[in-house]
Structure 1
Amino acid sequence: MPASRVQRVAAYVVCVEDGQVLLSRLTPRFGSRWTLPGGGVEHTEHPADAAVREAAEESGLEVRIDGLLTVDSLHLVRDHITGAEMDHHAIRIVYAGTVVGGTLRNEVDGSSDTAAWVPVAALDGLDQVSLVKIGMDAWRAAGPDLPGAGVVEGAG
């Protein structure tokens, strides 16, 4: 095992409107796969505030947090891009959210390079990180209890 161990807490948001989910695409350095908008929680920052901040950084959109969907834990022992050994523990907090303002745009000089509304029905054919499925499954399970949450026609 590698000498250093890393634990990272990050917060993400699932925003679904009109049968589409807001996603951001990671830069090639991180594998060019689609993910939920979000990222690392800064020291003393509330995770919900981190999800709002990261969504704005990655997409230009202002998001309101509607509720907690799930908390996921992921332990990585090998970098999926380089194959290098690692000891990385990711704690991923996923919220349901609603876009309340802003203009969709791509992040510049960040961990993502594209922000887009993607049809929920097209997610199965998309190159994505596991968090997208985890977040969408939790969003579907929330049903009508959260604004905007529940089953989307054609979402499977």
Structure 2
Amino acid sequence: MNKELRVAAYAVCVRETAGVQEILLARWVGRDGAKRWTLPGGGMDHGEDPIDTVVREADEETGYAVEPVRLLGIDSINRRYPRKLGMFADFQGLRIVYEGRITGGELRHETNGSTDLAAWHPLAEVTALDRVELVDTGVELWRSRPLLGRVSVSRG
């Protein structure tokens, strides 16, 4: 079984509008066409700093200039994924999660990328969205700010 490691950086951007907390999310399009909301962010390029990664990815996926203001934590997942010729990959994803502040830009949708929409959602309604578990992890890191940067979130 092939071992794969992917390191990525994501932003939790929360704002308050008319007394309602909202979180910025991007809609990820899976290889099978399934669409689920995720945090803005993505994979690091070789040699790239994680802060530069989250700034670049947030801009690509949402149109916003995002300034990372705090490291919230690091999340690690392990999965087994099918690959070509009946093979499987032992995949580990290392996800670096920052609190981000919008400093400029305008909301827009990514074209020809891994996401197709970007939108603000009321934080209280996130659990009703079709989303990846990283959203729950990011929200919990943002709310609890654990000393070790790690939370336990159900991975259903």
Q: Same fold judged by TM-score > 0.5?
A: yes
The yes-or-no answer on 1:124 pairing with 2:127 is yes
**Counterpart among 34, 44, 63 of residue 37 in structure 2:** 34
CA RMSD of aligned residues (A): 1.6
Q: Partner of 1:128: helix, strand, or coil? A: coil
AA partner of residue 43 (structure 2): G
The yes-or-no answer on 1:67 pairing with 2:70 is yes
Q: CA deviation at 1:78?
A: 3.9
The separation in 1 between residues aligned to 2:49 and 2:128, in whole angstroms, is 34
Q: CA deviation at 1:28?
A: 4.4
Q: CA deviation at 1:128?
A: 0.6
Identity %: 46
The separation in 1 between residues aligned to 2:104 and 2:135, in whole angstroms, is 23
TM-score, normalised to structure 1, is 0.83
Task: Show structure 1 runs of 5+ residues with no match.
Answer: 144-156
**Counterpart among 101, 106, 110 of residue 107 in structure 1:** 110
**Residue number in structure 2 paired with 1:153:** none
Q: Partner of 2:135: helix, strand, or coil? A: helix
**Residue number in structure 2 paired with 1:9:** 7
Task: Show structure 2 runs of 5+ residues with no match.
Answer: 147-156
Deviations, residues 32-72 of structure 1 (Å, cap 9, x unaligned): 11000000011111101100100000000000110100100
Q: CA deviation at 1:77?
A: 1.3
Does structure 1 conserve the Cα–Cα contact (< 8 Å) formed by 2:2 and 2:88?
no
Distance 1:126 1:104, change over 3 A: same
The separation in 2 between residues aligned to 1:50 and 1:96, in whole angstroms, is 14
The separation in 2 between residues aligned to 1:85 and 1:4, in whole angstroms, is 7
TM-score, normalised to structure 2, is 0.83
**Residue number in structure 2 paired with 1:20:** 22
